[in-house]
Structure 1
Amino acid sequence: MKIEEIEYTPNPNAMKFILDQALTLNGRTRSFTDMESTEGVPLAEAIMRIDSVISVFFADRWLSVTQDGTADWHQLMRDIADPIRAASLDDARPIDEEVGGVEAGGIDDAEAGFDDPRMEAIEMVINEQIMPYLQGDGGGLQIKALIDTQLMIRYEGACGTCPSAIAGTLKGIENLLRSQVDPDLTVIAV
Structure 2
Amino acid sequence: MPKIAEIDDTPNPNAVKFTLHEPLSWGIAHSYESAEQAVNDPLATALFALDHVTNVFYTDRWLTVTQDGAADWPALVRQIAVPLRAAPAAAAQSAQRVTAARLAVHDMSEQEQVRFARINDLLDQHIRPALQADGGDLHVLGLAGDTLSIHYQGACGTCPSSIGGTLASIENLLRSIEPELAVEAV
Shorter-chain TM band: 0.7 to 0.9
Aligned mate of 2:173, from 151, 173, 176: 176
Q: Which residue of 2 aligns with 1:101?
A: none
One-letter amino acid of the counterpart of residue 84, structure 1: L
1:60 is matched with 60
Q: Which residue pairs with 1:49 in the alignment?
A: 49
Partner residue, 1:80? 80
- Partner Cα distance (1:168, 1:83) in 2: 34
Q: Distance in 1 between matches of 2:108 and 2:170?
A: 20
Q: How does 1:65-144 map to 2 (within 5 A)?
A: 65-89=65-89, 109-110=105-106, 116=112, 117-144=114-141
Distance 1:53 1:112 in 2: 37
C-alpha distance in 2, partners of 1:22/1:61?
Answer: 4
- In structure 2, what residue type is equivalent to 1:46? A
Compared CA separation, residues 66 and 107, structure 1 to 2 (3 A): farther
Residue 89 of structure 1, CA deviation:
2.4
Q: Percent identity?
A: 47
Which of 175, 181, 184 in structure 2 is aligned with 1:185?
Answer: 181
Which consecutive residues of structure 2, in runs of 5 or more, have no partner in the other structure? 95-100
Does the CA contact (< 8 Å) of 2:33 and 2:55 recur in 1? yes
Cα distance in 1 between the residues matched to 2:10 and 2:30: 18
**Distance in 1 between residues matched to 2:73 and 2:182, nearest whole Å:** 36
Aligned residues: 178
